[in-house]
Structure formats: C-alpha cells, structure tokens
Structure 1
Amino acid sequence: MSSFVGRRQELVQLRSALDHAREGRPRIVLVDGPAGIGKTSFVRRFLAEAGETCLLRASGEAAEVPLEYGVLDQLMAQGQGEPYGTAGPLVAGSALLDRIGLLQDGPPVVVVVDDAHWADVMSLGALTFALRRLRADRVLAVVVVQDAGDLRLPEGLRRLLCDETTLRLRLRGLSAAEVRDLADRHGGLPLTAAAAERLRAHAQGNPLHILALLEQVAAQNLQDVHRPLPAPRSYALLVEETLERCAEATRDLVRAASVLGVSGSLTTAAALAGIDSPLAALEQAVGMGLLQEHGNGSAHTVVFSHPLVRAAVYQRLGAARRSRLHAGAAALESDRVQSLRHRAAAAVGPDERVARQLALLAADEAGAGRWNTAADHLIQAGRLTPAGRTGERRILRAAEYQLLGGDIAQAEGMTETLETMTATPQRQYVLGRIALASGRRERADRLLTQVWREGDRRLARRAAEQLAWSCLARARGAEAAGWARRSIALSPRGDPAGLRDALALAHGICGRFEEGLALVAAVEEEASHTRPELLDGLVARGVLRLWTDDLDGARHDLTRAASARSGLLHLGPMATAYLAEAEYRGGRWDDAIAHSEQAVSLATDSGQRWMRCLAHALAVLPLAGRGDWEAAEAHAEASATWSRYLCDASNTAYAALARAVVRHARGDCAAVVRALAPLRGAERRDGVDEPGVMGWRELLVEGLVRTGDLAGAGAVLDEHEELAERRDRASALASAARLRGLLAAEEGRREEAEAAFELGVIRIKRIDQPLEEALLHLQYGAFLRRGGARRQAAEHLQTARGLFEHLRAAPYLARCRQELAACGASVPGEPPAEPLGLTPQEYAVARLAAGGLTNRQVARELVLSVKTVEYHLGHIYAKLGISSRMQLGLRLA
C-alpha cells in the first residue's frame, strides 16, 4: 500500500511546470527539504502520474562523490566517466545539452537528479552548464537537494537553483490531517484528530519518522493521548529496532549491504554476510521496508529504501564489526580503487601502508587531471597517516588539488584545518593560493611573498608565478613582469608557457606592446601541435592585438582560444569576453552580443569570480549601443557588484566604464562624468590609462565638453593625446582628433575645430571601427550644420546614418536623424529594429544555418540545444515567409 500522502499543491505546481515544458518553455524545479521529508517519494508520485515522458534520471551517493562524472554517466546512460577524460564540465555539459536536444522529438524530456548534494562536482558543473542553456526546449529539470544553499553544491548551481525563474518546492512536514491519512494507509487503527496532532508535533511532521513510529508504537498507545509517546529517538535506533525483528540472516545481509553503500551487488553482500542462499533474507528485508530489489538473476542489486536507512544501519554496526566487514569487502572487491576504499574504512587508527597507497592513487588521478578525485584520496590518506609532517603535506596537497579542480568552496572550507598545521612555507603557499582564489588579495600577497623569501627553489618559483598573475589581475604591470621574470629564472625548463603569457600581458598594460607581442609571436606554430597549455598564448596575443588595433588578428586568435574549452577552462571566459570586445569594435555587434553573453555564462559556470566584472562590463558595450537598456543596465549593475567584491583598480575601471557607456548611449553627459569620477585624478595605472585598452578617457572628455567643463576636458585630452602619439595608437589618435574638434568648436575656435575634424577623417581610414567613424561624421556634420554649411553637413550625416543603420545603433541613429532633419535633408523611414525583423539570437542562428551548418553544428557553435535552434529557425522561416535554407541564404544575401 502506498505511504504517499498530501503534497497536492506542490504536485499541481510541478504538473504545471511540465505543461510549460511540453509547450517548449523549459522549466527548472528545485525540490528541497530535510532528510526523510519525502522528497524522493514526491518525485516518484509525480512521475507516476506525469503521463508519457522521456526520463533521464540520476541520483547522488555519498560514497561516490569522488567518482568524477558518476552522476552524469547515469544521465547519459554511458555507465562510466572515462569518455569525458579531462575535458572539464563545460565540454561534458555540452554533450549533455546535445543529448537532451536530440531526445525532444517525442514526449517532453524530464531530467531528475535526486540527492544532488551527494553528486560529484564535475557532474554538477556539467549539469549547470546544460541547464543554463535551455531556451525553447521541451525539458523539465527537477533537482532534489536537502538545502539549496549547501556549500557542497557549486556556486553556479546554487545561484541557478535560487534564481527567481526557478520553481522552488520546499517540502515541509505533514499536517495533522495528512498524518491521519498516512496512518489509515498504513493499516492501523484510525487516529483521532488529537492523536494525529500529537504525533505530528512529536515527529515534526516528518513522514519517515512518522512511519517509523507507526511501525514501532502500538496503535492503542498512539491513540491514548494521555499515555506519553516514547521519548524522541534517533533515526538510527528506530531502524535498528526494525532490523532486530528480522531473521538473523536478514540482519546480516542488511548490515553487509550497508558496508557496500546505498546500493550494491546482492552477490557481494551475501558473500560478505556468509549467506549461501540470500533470496529469503532479501525478501524479508524488502518486506520490512529496509531494502529494495533491482535487476534479476546474476545482476541483482540491493538498494536501501532511503540513504538514512543505510546510514542508521551502518552507524549501529559498532567499530569492530564495521572494520571486519570492510576488510572482508576489500578482499571480495576486484576493483583496485574500491578495494582500497574498504581497506581505508577498515583501518583502526593510523595505517601508513594504506595511506601510502591512497597517496599513490591520488598521484595517478592528479596526473590524469582528475584533481577533485585526487584531493579526496589525499584527504583520506592524511587522516590515516600517523601524526607528523607527512600527513600535513598530504592534506596541503589535497587543498591545492581542490583549487586546481575549481572546487574553491571546499578548499576554503579547509582553511581552519590548515591553519592548525605547522607554519611551513608549503602551508603558507597553499593558504596564499586559497586567499587569492577567494578574492582576499592582501592576505594572498602577504603569504605568497613570505613563501618567496623563505621557501625552497620550487616553492619560491610557484609563489612568484601566483604573484605575477595576482598583480596582472590588478593592473600592476611592472610588478607582474618582475614576478614573472623571477619565476622564469627559477624554472628548470626555462620559460613556461603560462608565465610567458603573463609577462607578455604585463608588457602590454605597461605600454610595451611590441615586447609583449614578440614573446608570443611563435604561438601559432606551437599551438598547431594541439597541446592545450600552448593555446594559452593565443589569448595573450589576441588581447595584445585587440589593444593595438589589429582586430582581424585579435578575432583570429581569440576565436581559436575561445573554442578550445577543453584545454582552457581557466582562460576560456577571458578569451570569449575579449573576442566579444574585438567584434564590438569591428562592428560585428550580433556576434559581440552572443559572445559576451556566453562569456558571462562561462565565467559563472566555471566559478571564476575574477572574470565576472570584466565579462559583465564588456557585455554592456553592444547592448547599450543598440539601446537594449534593460539588459545593458543589468550587466552594468552586475559589473559594479563584482568590482566591489574584487576591489582593485582594473575592475573598478571596467565597472565605471560600463556605467558610462550606458549613460553615453542615453545622451546623459552629466551622468557620464559622474560615472567616471572614480577614475579621475589618480596616479597613472597600468592598462587602465593606456590608449586603446579601455577608452574611458574619450567618454570623459566628451562628457566634460558637453557639460561646460572645457578646462577639465582640455587637460584630460592633452594627456591622452600625448600618450596616444607616443604609442602611435591609431584608434586613440582618431578619437582624439574628433574630441579636439568638439572642444575647439565649443571654445569658438571654428577653424581649429574644422581642421581637427578633417584630421580625424584622415586618421579614421587607418582603422576599421565603424562606431568611432560614425561618431566622427555625426559630430563633424553637427558642427558644420551649426556653422551654416548644410550641404557639407548633410554629406557627413548621411555617412554616419549609414554606419549607424548597419550597426543598428538605435540611440545614435535617432540623434543622426534629428541632425539630418535640421539640415533639411530627406530622412528615410525608420528601419526595422533588427535585420529582416529578426532578433539578434535569430539573426545569429540564421547566418550560421545559411552558411551550411546543420542544426546540431549551429547548436554547438552558439552553445544552445538543438531544440532551441529548431525553435529559432521556425520563427525565422515564419517571419521571412520561406521554407528552406537555400531561400534563407538568398534572403540574407
């Protein structure tokens, strides 16, 4: 008889979410609540009543947390994690997204991940990546956890589960009426209302505890409200009492099964329990609600009815019996890793032999790039190591592996333990890396500098490397270069690729672009060997090319780097963000919007907090230019939030720039000046003040001119122009000429203004930056119109109009049309907001589809699901009145 009661409102909400998914509106549902509250039963009931669906189901298991991609394997039905290798959760997530997309031709897809808090980190990262990219998919994703804020869940998944678009179903205790219903279904005497309320209050409505009490307490005792109920017992005691009513063989089988985990082979459990014919014992255990039976024949698997049941049985074994059973399981287990796990659990006190084998296994896992699994093995090894430095070294290395695996929260959680250890350089180095990863940079600098001074050659080199990247992230170019050189000097292999890139970027933000580019000039040849670490040089060279106006070269390098996600988990978001900026500067705003949103998503999914401010700031640029105020403002606010978290000169500048760009597009010059106020008057900052890097000075000068602060504008412009001339930075010189024209015109020096604008027209030919060219012609035309030269003004304004229309820069186009109307020139009708009436996402899909890519290839290129691509193509065909890719190509042409 079913013991499921209540949850009517939650079931209605979940069914409604499934209805949305059937219509191509994907939904994510969080089901959470304390252990034993009935989350799994609730989902089972929903699935039983859901009708036809395509179900992908998986569940986490505490003993399998170190098994990388164990949960993802269940969803993918592959049976093992090896096919993902060291690709990382982003690539594995793309594979999951691809599988989900291909399953949607029939009934809607329902993805259920039960006990997600016990899932491995890599699977959760892949799941997060896939769920964030559901757009028009017929998919319902149900994630079951005890607590959505559980630190065992990756930051990106926690944020997704707590997002306002996610339906949260928090299961709480049963009501008194539902307790009565549960008692009726259980087959006992009907409870009175008073007895039901007493039982509800006693068990706090927990159905698992209530069922246990209904099982354990006589019906008359439950009914008699004057007879006190038993004192609250631990769940382990209730389970143990149930177990004690079983036959001896059944008890032995259940206890042996608890050593194997929540699930395990019946054959192995029986051998461990010493039972030749286990089916009768299994039948009784199932009848008592302790175990469930899966499979048949030789493939019998026993599964505990709830993880708490297994935990209760396991905890009540007693130390001697637990050790003996684990030792027996180790002897029966053919898998080396599982056998070693049982040997470790069987150990009574320190066991250096087992600890050493765990450490060797960790080294193998680390060599294959499975950092989180390696860390788990080392932590266990550390606990089994006799007191002393060896155990501490193993724990320290485990924390470092967690950082390398991106599990920053777990590494931070070890800080208190690490601080109790001997204050060796190794400990200081690991604590410094944790501080750096978590944004506590002053502490990181102090610890890492101490390691540089006191550590051995190897540790000093690694500390210097971390200090180089720390300084680089804060736009301290000279310091970054100095630390990179120190680390390179200590490297036994000369010039490591990663340090070469740090040094190249350090030269760049100091204005020594030629030196920086020379360091990465040969990266093309090296990258052809497909070694991922050598692809890092493409990011450095791409960024330097972007800053020196080589937009074609920048797009080439950054496109390759951004697409190589499996080898660039730490730089992929950076490459994608700067690729979006290169496309923005080059007038490819549709691509820029797509890639900037992708960069934000990648930085979020991979937990790279250091990239969040930059990614959001660069996402603002094309959105503000298009007049998409809601999206632009949201990214600008997010950039400001992350800049306050990171608190350094570079991120402060990017956040200020993001706010200023939105205000400039809106035409609010006073707000531009206010937004950039934090950047004024400071000593020169590497990168921040470099012409061609950020461009905040250009916005400030225009804002000061238009708000009447001509002296302030002149001072800023003089400094900016002088440095741009020294660098021979074409883009900065072109904008400087435009701004010089604006300033001279406002000061009444018309001849100087006209000469400056004409110089800008000459300089703009050296670069291919449509927005800057359009602004030049707009402002030159406005200047000429005010001087009465309407015919000449109209020519410049028509040029500007054409460029703005190509960019679909609606706010600037509106100003240009006003100027044309003031000239008396004919103004054509308003162009559509998007080309051919398509949205940016539709236009991106259309271009790739018309270029010959299949739906699956388009999905992979844009990191969407196949179903989303199909959805967009359906809208595209309907809008354009076509029915084939050939017709689409002709329309776009």
Structure 2
Amino acid sequence: MSSDGRPEHLHGRAAECRALRSVISTVAGGDSQVLVLRGEAGVGKTALLGYLSEQASALRVLHVAGVQSDMELAYAGLQQLCAPLMEHLGELPDPQRRALDVAFGRGVGEPPDRFLVGLAVLSLMAAAAQRQPLLCIVDDAHWLDQVTVQTLGFVARRLLAEPIALVFAARDDGAQPLTGLPELIVRGLSDGDARELLDSVMLGGIDPPVRDRIVAETRGNPLALLEVPRNASSTELAGGFWLSGSASAPGAVETSYVKRVQSLPAPTRRLLLVAAAEPVGDAALFLRAAAALGIPIDALAPAEAAGVIEFGPRMRFRHPLLRSAAYRAADLADRRAIHRALADATDPEADPDRRAWHAANAAAGPDDAVAEELQNSAARAQSRGGIAAAAAFLERSAVLTADPHLRGARALAAAKAKRDAAAPAAARDLLDLAERGPLSELQRAQVARVRAQMDFVRSRAGEAGAPSVRETAQALLDAARGLEPLDDYASRESYLEAIAALMYAGRLGDPGALTHAAQAALAALDRAAELSRPVDFLLKGVAGRITQGVGAGAESMRIGLDHMCIQAAADDRDVLRWMVPAFPILQESSAHELWDHATVHQLAAAAVRAARNAGALAILPRALVYQAGVHLVAGEFRTAATLVEEANAITSATDHYAAVKYHALMLTAWRGDAAEAERLIKATEADGTSRGEGRVLGLTGYAAAVLYNGLGRYDEALAAARTVCEYEDIGFYSWCLYELVEAAARSGQRDTATAAIDDLADRAGASGTDWGLGTLAAAQAMLADDADADALFTEAIERLGRTTIAVHRARAHLVYGEWLRRVLRRTDARRHLTEAHDMFVRMGADAFAERARRELAATGEKVRAQQPSSGGELTAQEAQIARLAGEGLTNQEIGAQLFISTHTVEWHLRKVFAKLGITSRRQLRTMSWAS
C-alpha cells in the first residue's frame, strides 16, 4: 500500500479500492453488504476481487467463478460456493434442508422451488456468519448457471442484519437477476494511469507517440495494456498499429490470445482444447481424456510456461478470455473429437448429465441415442428444480432427434421448459421447430395454447412488438376450441384464460368480444358429459354472468368458489394450480359479484399459505397482492402495504412477470395522498393505454373517485366515477356505483345518484349478504327523506358491522354523522363522526380522517389535525414481524414465512421492543398490528 492509501499493484484504482475496503469494514462491524462490480472484459474486475480477498483477513472468504460454457447444470455454481458451509446443514429447518439436499443431488424428493433453496442458502450463510463474518466473492457471474445467479440475487436482496457480504463481478449486460443491486461501475483507466501502467510493463521502453496511440485505442483497458508486450512485435509497436481497426480492446485481446494459442505445438493445443471444453476444470477427468487421446501430460508444459493455464487440482486458465481463445483456435472437427473423448472419459453413473452434454457436442448430426440421454438428463435436472438446465437439455435433445414424431414432442416439451425458465425467445424458436414436424392434433393444439399464453404475458408486460391483449385473447380462445375434442380440462382452462384476457382488455377491447368468448365457453360446457371440477363451475358462472347480465351465473360461481375453498383446505397443490396469471382475477371478481368477502379472504389466505409452504416465489407475489386486497377493504392498510412491499421485493429478486399493482394503486388512493395518488394514477393510465389494457383505466377511475370523495372534491369524484361506469368492469364496477352516488349527491346531481342507486340495488341488493345490503342501505340513505334516512343509516352500520369491510363501515359512520349535523342532531353527529374519525386514523385513511375532523369541528368538537408519522412508529415489516411473534410463532417460523434469516427477525424484534417500550414477546399478544 502506498503512502496515499493506493494499492501499489493496481494502477488508478484508489476509489474502487476504498469502496471495497468499506465493504469489509461494514461486514466486520456486523452489517450486511452487497456490491456488483460491472464492466467490460479485461477492465480489472477480477483484479479488484483479488484485492478484496487480500484485505479480508478477518473474514471467512468463499469464492466461486463462472466459466463460459453452453452447458447448464442446475445449482453447479451454488453448490461450489456452499460446499465449505455444509457443516451447518443440520442447523436448517427440515424443509430448507431437504430442499438443499435435493437441489445439490444429495437426496431425492419432490423438485424444490428454487427460492426455497435460496432461503436455505441464506440460512446456511447466516449460521456460518454467527461464528465469523462472511465474504462471498462471485467472479464472472454472467457465466454461472442461471438458477445459481437467480438464487444468489434472491439471497442478496434478503440480507439485512447478518455480517455477510456478497460481492459479484459481471459484464455490463450480464447476470440480469443482479440488476437493481448496488453497483460499482469499473471503467478503463484514465490516460495518465494507463500510460503509467503501460510504461511499467514495457521493459525496453516505448516511444511516447506510440504509447499514446495504444492508450487511446485500448480505452484504458488494463488487460489490453498488459498484453501489449506479449502480443505485439517491435515492428507493430514502432508503427503503433497493434490495435488499429479493432472493434474493442477486449476483442483485440481475445484475438491476440487466439494467436498465442495457435503458436503452441499441436499436442499442447489439443490438451488446451480438452481443458477449455470441460467447464468444471476437473483435473482427473482431464488426465483420463488426455490418456484416451494418447497425448502425454508433459505436452502441456509449453502452455504453462507461456502463462496460459495452471495445472493443479482444478485446471485454471490465466484469464477467461484465454479459455474461449483455446476453444476458438480449434476447428469444428477437433472440437467434436475432444468432446467425444471427454464423453468417453466421464463416468456414466457418477456424472451422466455432463457425459450426455459432451456426447451431444460430439455428434455430427442427429443421434437418437444421445437425444434420449439428454432427455433423461432433463428429467434429472427437473427433479432438482433446475428449470433452466432441463430446458437446455430438452432443447439439445430436440435438435439431435432423428425421428420426426419424437422431435416434435421433444421440441414442444423444450418450449414449455424454456418458457418456464424465462427464455421466451428460445421457447418461440422451439415452438417453430415443433410445428415443422408431424404433430398430432393434440400437440398442435398444445403448441397454440403455449404460444398464446406466452403472448398474453408479453402483452401484459408491455413488451415491444408483443400482440395486444385482445389479440392474445383471441389466440387463447382459438386454442380452447382446438383443445376441446382432445383435452377438455385444458380446453376449459384456456376458455377461462381467454375470458380473463378479455376482461383485462376491457373498454379497449373489441366490442362484443367478451360476450362472444363467454358464449363459446357455455356451448363447450353444454357439450361436456359431466361438470364436476371447480374450474368447470367457475367458467359456467362467469360466462353466464357475462352473457345474461346481472345476477346470472351466481349459483355456478358460488358452487365453483365453494369447491375451491374445500379443495384449498384439503390440498395446497390445487391452490397453486389456480394461481396462474388468469385465475386470481376470475376468483376475485366472482366473489365480489356475490359480495362475498369471506370467500376472497379464505382463497387469498390459502394461496399465500400454499405458496409460502412450497417456497413458490414465482407464485407468491400474485398471492400476496391478492391477499393485500382483502386487508385493504378491511381497513388494515399497514398489513396490505407490508404484503405489497414483500411482493415487490420478491419480484425484484426474480425475473418473473410482475402483475399490475392494482392494490398498491388503491392503497395510495385510500390513504388520501393527493400528489402521490394523482402521479400514480396518471402513470398507470398511460401504461394501461399503451398495452391496450382497459381494465386499468377502469381501476384508475375508481381510485380517483375514492381519492376525490375522501378529499371532498366531489365534482372531480363525479367525473371520475361517471367515466368508470361507462363500461362494466366485472368485479369492481358495483363498488364504483357507491362512489358515484356519494359524489352525485354532494354535487347536486340527484338524478344521476338515483339511477346509480337503482343499478346498485340490482347487484348489491340481490346478493343477500350484509356487505351488499349494508352498502346499498348507506347509498339509499344519502338520498332518502329525513324520515327514512335515519333507519337506513342505522341498517347500513349494523349490517356492515357484521362484516370485515371496515372502510365501508367507517364511511357509513361518516355520512351518517354528516347527515345528523345537517339536521341539527349535534350530539348524535359527534358520536358517529368521532367513530369515523378514529377508524380512519387507525387505518391511515388521512383524507377521510380530515373530512371527519372538519365535520366534528363544525359541531363544536375540537379535534387536532393528524400530525405526520413519527420516526418511532413501526415500519411495515416490523409490524408484520411483531404480529407474527404475538401470534406465538418462533423466530425460525417467522423467518421461513417472510423469507428472511432468523438473525434478521431477531434484529427487527429488538427494534420493535425499543420502539414500543416493552421487554417480552408476551406483551405483543395484547397489541393490534392490523392497521
């Protein structure tokens, strides 16, 4: 270290080294740290990681590096990183331990969800860090297997109170699951530092003009500068032409590496090719392959002397670009021969998957035997939860299959796997391959459905060039028809998916398209021999409601939802099957049409429970926002916010499609933050319009109506509610009728309010539930004569008091209190206005609370305006942990539910105790954490 704190062997990296030393000091102090070094090849990321490792003498250091390869072995990198920590495996909860055993091939069982594996890795690291702070260094993360990077990205986002650092190095555009984590951009050296570095390695000196030309053309890339004396002749250096015309410094370096490899003796080049083709660097396998090729190991000496490779327990190239250069330097025939030798040298019992992959790379054309081996490898990868690995094996299997019938089936299976592995482009290519073969009618229908499902996800994600929502709905409808005579269950699911897609299209869809799809579904159900599954009844009920109007289909919807509740209580797997993107909207909308909050509550809770128990984080975000809606209308805003926050954290750690944040938008509107709500409404409207998703426009209008009614801006609320009610969005249209009644009544638009009440009576009034009848009574009371209003308000409050719909009950107290004040019953008015004010304050519905406060002030009651929240209040996650602890869950159980470590739970609870001034978990049981 120089006197100014700069590492002597790293030119121009003082700032980067300070950042890395800060990582170490933070972890040594007991906190977690995550950092991703990003930069082009050769820019010095690996050197900086080496410096980090040197400085971390007080920490336990784990290291893993990705290796460039087209072979995808699930959890290979993660297993290498965690191998030194397996002594702590016994400290993990049983579900986590079993998941890790299966993922790492140490045991057998159901395929583990990859994020349950992530929780297990987090727990494993946390257990190790209790003994000594931990530093995990992940080099060339862009070349690790996909599931390893995704899992480590999940772990990185869940670190908080553990003395653990995760430091990654990745190319600028690589390792996408790490996007959004704290980054340190590593750029080329400044001209001055680059000149200094180049001068230090040019022992014979270099003319300044030539040096400046090289510095400019390498753009300060350290590796390119270091390679100058190795790869440039004195003539090239004299003219300054070494890098002239190169596209990039890393590209020029790799080209120079290829030349260096090509200059070595032929036997040496073949041994380098063996090492380059075997990504694990297994020295024993290398020796067996070399022996099979008849090449003495001494032939590797020239490569070692040239600094190309190190021979040890693992074969290691001096730089990843040298490895790719050794592979590129060989022709295709030599590569195939080497892969054949590696396949023959690989133990088919101990490592059948790697053997199958080498055999595939050795094949000169279709080979059914190798294709079958790859298919078997895919099944093994799937059993370990390696979706990406299974997809890669299936893709290669399809390509190598000679039998056209088998090729089509395998291509279809590979396409589904690629879709699930978040590789839609490859999935579409495989669907094209499948369609070029002789498929059965069922297979063609399955291809059509998979393509339509993928397009639906693309359209909702707003992907450029994706079909519109209404186009994908038509494709799903066509798929349903095609499947009907071949697979009736899949056909009905596809009909539901088509209807859901058209419900999302809403007012921006083709007029009559939703009715047309529902009619087609009903016709298919009429042709069915038997209706016995929940999906059948739900489809019949929703389709009947769409085609026949208000009240129709209610019985079938009720049967379908009841059966779903029964099956949810009996088998979590059924719940998970219903959490595909299309189904929650149908469940939720059906229950809301019936004004049945209890069913929504039960199904949402079951979905979250099932996803948590399975560790299914691909599904959990949808389940969490589903449940957030339940807590929102119950006035439990804090819990709803916690669920939305957790869903956002999970989706940011995965590459799965994140659902439109309906409930986050509604939560902001109910809280009454005008500036934030209006910003979010505007942004969501623009997003929905661009995607052709009209349901979003209905939702933003409803949110605006709630917001403006709370703020007392009734003309704006009326305009928003009118816009919503121009199109019937099944599920929340009826709710907006109440907003329309209140806004119209307060704006002097009695005829508009009367018409809305009549419409609401046909819906809520026919439900027979306390929620529906209580909401209707509150709406009717706002227009009733004084003689009738009192009884209607009283009925509304009594009925809503028997439900969990606190937001509507609080509003009933509010409008009743406002009416009582106007008829000069001030004492009664104060009682109801105080109840409304207190409820809204507990919820956090600030606009409605302020409206109630103003009304109380008009009665002569003095109520201070709400003050901004103090820093001593619990955060959303602290409140959630406190609630779970109060319910009697252990720290380990809380950590498993929230996908955080036990140590993080302890850290949060210490803060909870300090903020609340309590000393024991028993005291938490008497407190409320809902609002």
Structure 2 length-normalised TM: 0.81
Aligned pair partner of 1:432 in 442, 452, 456: 452
d(CA) in 1 for partners of 2:296 and 2:381? 37
Distance 1:826 1:674, change over 3 A: closer
What residue in structure 2 maps to residue 578 of structure 1? 626
Q: Deviations over 1:547-594 (max 9, x none)?
A: 645545543442232122238666533332222222222333332222
Deviation at 1:306, TM superposition (A): 2.8
Extract unaligned runs of 5+ from structure 1.
295-299
Matched letter for residue 767 of structure 1: T
Deviation at 1:76, TM superposition (A): 3.6
Q: What letter corresponds to residue 779 of structure 1 in structure 2? A: V
2:41 maps to 1:45: no
What letter matches 1:124 in structure 2? V
Corresponding residue SS for 1:264: coil
Q: Contact between 1:431 and 1:444, CA under 8 Å: does it hold in 2?
A: no
Cα 1:797–1:658 shift into 2, 3 Å: closer
Pair 1:504–1:712, CA change in 2 (3 A): closer
Secondary structure of the residue aligned to 1:686 is coil
- Inter-partner Cα distance in structure 2 for 1:25 and 1:345: 46
Name the structure 2 match of 1:260. 278
Aligned partner of 2:341 in structure 1 is 328
Match for residue 308 of structure 2? 290
One-letter amino acid of the counterpart of residue 595, structure 1 = L
Equivalent residues of 1:28, 1:140 under 8 A apart? yes
Please tell me the residue identity of whatever aligns with 2:725: R
User: What does residue 698 of structure 2 align with?
Assistant: 653
Asked if the contact 1:480–1:502 (Cα under 8 Å) also holds between the matched residues in 2, the reply is no
Give 1:679 shift.
Answer: 1.9
Q: How far, CA to CA, are the matches of 1:708 and 1:20 in structure 2?
A: 63
Q: Is the 8 A contact 2:66 2:144 kept in 1?
A: yes
- Greater CA deviation, 96-105 or 730-739? 96-105
Question: In the alignment, what sits opposite 1:594?
Answer: 642
SS class of match (1:474): helix
Secondary structure in 2 matching 1:301: coil
Out of 192, 199, 211, the position equivalent to 2:214 is 199
Equivalent position SS for 2:399: helix
Q: Identify if the C-alpha distance between structure 1 residues 654 and 352 changes in structure 2 by more than 3 Å, giving closer, same or farther.
A: same
172, 176, 195: which one pairs with 1:180? 195
Q: Hey, what's the Cα distance between the residues in 1 that align with 2:159 and 2:674?
A: 24
Q: What is the identity, as a one-letter code, of the residue corresponding to 2:49?
A: V
1:224 aligns with 2:247: no
Q: 2:91: which partner in 1?
A: none
* Alpha-carbon offset, residue 301 of structure 1: 1.2
Equivalence for 1:686? 730
Of 848, 853, 857, which aligns to 1:812?
848
State which of 512, 516, 531 in structure 1 corresponds to 2:557: 516
Which segment drifts farther, 429-438 or 831-840? Answer: 831-840
Given candidates 138, 144, 150, the residue that maps to 2:169 is: 144
Trace 1:866-885 onto structure 2 (pairs within 5 A).
Answer: 866-885=902-921
The correspondence of residues 237-386 of structure 1 with structure 2, limited to 5 A, is 237-243=255-261, 250-261=268-279, 263-274=280-291, 285-293=303-311, 300-334=313-347, 335-362=351-378, 370-386=386-402
Encode CA deviations 1:249-291: one digit per residue, 9 max, x unaligned: 6444322111212x32112212222389977666654453322
Q: Deviations over 1:467-514 (max 9, x none)?
A: 421312433876666666677799999866666666666678875343
Task: Report the counterpart of residue 400 of structure 1 in structure 2.
Answer: 416
Partners of 1:501 and 1:143 in 2: how far apart? 48
CA distance 1:881–1:725, change in 2 (3 Å)? closer
1:863 deviates by: 3.2
Distance 1:755 1:62 in 2: 76
User: Structure 2 CA distance, aligned partners of 1:519 and 1:227?
Assistant: 76
Q: Distance in 1 between matches of 2:122 and 2:620?
A: 19
1:561 aligns with one of 607, 627, 636: 607
Whole-Å separation in 1 of the counterparts to 2:381 and 2:712:
56
Question: 1:36 is paired with a residue of what secondary structure?
Answer: coil
In structure 1, what is the Cα distance between the partners aligned to 2:526 and 2:360?
Answer: 42
Q: How far is 1:622 from its partner?
A: 4.3
Count residues with an aligned counterpart. 864
Q: Which amino acid aligns with 2:633?
A: R
Label 1:186 to 1:376 Cα distance change in 2 as closer, same or farther (>3 A): same
Q: Aligned partners of 2:231 and 2:628: how far apart in 1?
A: 65
Provide Cα deviations, 1:319-374, integer angstroms capped at 9, x if missing partner: 22211111111111112221111111111133343234434544665687754333
| Structure 2 counterpart SS, 1:142 | strand
On the 8 A contact 1:359/1:378 being kept in 2, the answer is yes
Conservation of the 8 A alpha-carbon contact between 2:45 and 2:169: yes
Partner of residue 719 from structure 1, selected from 747, 759, 768: 759
- Per the alignment, residue 849 of structure 1 pairs with 885
1:81 corresponds to which of 100, 104, 109: 104
| CA distance, structure 2, for counterparts of residue 629 and residue 651 of structure 1 | 19
Is the alpha carbon distance of 1:207 and 1:606 closer, same or farther for their aligned partners in structure 2, counting shifts above 3 Å?
closer
**2:509 — aligned with what?**
none
1:667-693 deviations in Å (ceiling 9; x for gaps): 4434434544542323x443343x4xx
1:443-482 correspondence to structure 2 within 5 Å? 443-451=471-479, 457-458=485-486, 462=490, 465-475=493-503
- Give yes or no for contact 2:715–2:743 (8 Å, CA) kept in 1: yes
* Alignment partner, residue 778 of structure 2: 738
Q: How far has the Cα of 1:406 moved from its partner?
A: 4.4
- Looking at structure 1, the residues matched to 531 and 772 of structure 2 have their Cα atoms a distance apart, in angstroms, of 37
Q: CA deviation at 1:768?
A: 3.1
CA offsets per residue over residues 108-137 of structure 1, 9 Å max, x none?
Answer: 544443333333333333334333444555
Aligned partners of 1:496 and 1:140: how far apart in 2?
Answer: 50
Match of 1:114 in 2: 139
Does the 8 A contact of 2:537 with 2:557 survive in 1? Answer: no
* Residue 785 of structure 2 corresponds to residue 771 of structure 1: no
- Cα deviation, residue 60, structure 1: 3.3
Task: Tell me which of 533, 548, 554 is aligned to 2:574.
Answer: 533
User: Would the aligned equivalents of 2:895 and 2:901 in 1 still touch at CA under 8 Å?
Assistant: yes
Equivalents in 1 of 2:719, 2:282: separation in Å?
68
What is the CA–CA distance in structure 2 between the aligned matches of 1:53 and 1:678, rounded to whole Å?
A: 61
Equivalence for 1:297: none
1:669 aligns with 2:686: no
CA contact (8 A) 2:534 2:559 kept: no
The DSSP-based 3-state class of the residue aligned with 2:364 is coil
* Structure 1 CA distance for aligned equivalents of residues 11 and 357 of structure 2: 39
Task: Please give the residue correspondences for 1:160-175 in structure 2 after superposition, counting only pairs within 5 Å.
Answer: 161=179, 163=180, 166-175=181-190
- Quote the Cα distance in structure 1 between the aligned partners of 2:538 and 2:64: 41
Distance (Å, rounded) in 2 between the aligned partners of 1:607 and 1:499:
32
2:663 maps to what in 1? Answer: 618
State whether residues 426 and 455 of structure 1, in contact with CA within 8 Å, keep that contact through their aligned partners in structure 2. Answer: yes
Structure 2 CA distance for partners of 1:116 and 1:709, relative to 1, 3 Å: farther
Structure 2 counterpart of 1:781, from 794, 817, 822: 817
CA separation of 1:370 and 1:840: change in aligned 2, threshold 3 A: closer
User: Are 2:810 and 1:798 aligned?
Assistant: no
Amino acid at match of 2:114: P
Match of 2:736 in 1: 696
Matched letter for residue 277 of structure 2: V
- Following superposition, the deviation at residue 402 of structure 1 comes to 1.8
Is the aligned partner of 1:93 residue 2:105?
no
Structure-1 separation of matches of 2:192 and 2:368: 57
Counterpart of 2:95 in structure 1 is none
Structure 2 unaligned spans of 5+: 1-6, 87-100, 460-466, 504-512
Q: Which moved more, 1:650-659 or 1:311-320?
A: 650-659
Q: Matched residue of 1:144: which SS?
A: strand
Give the distance between the partners of 2:72 and 2:536, measured in 1 at CA. 31
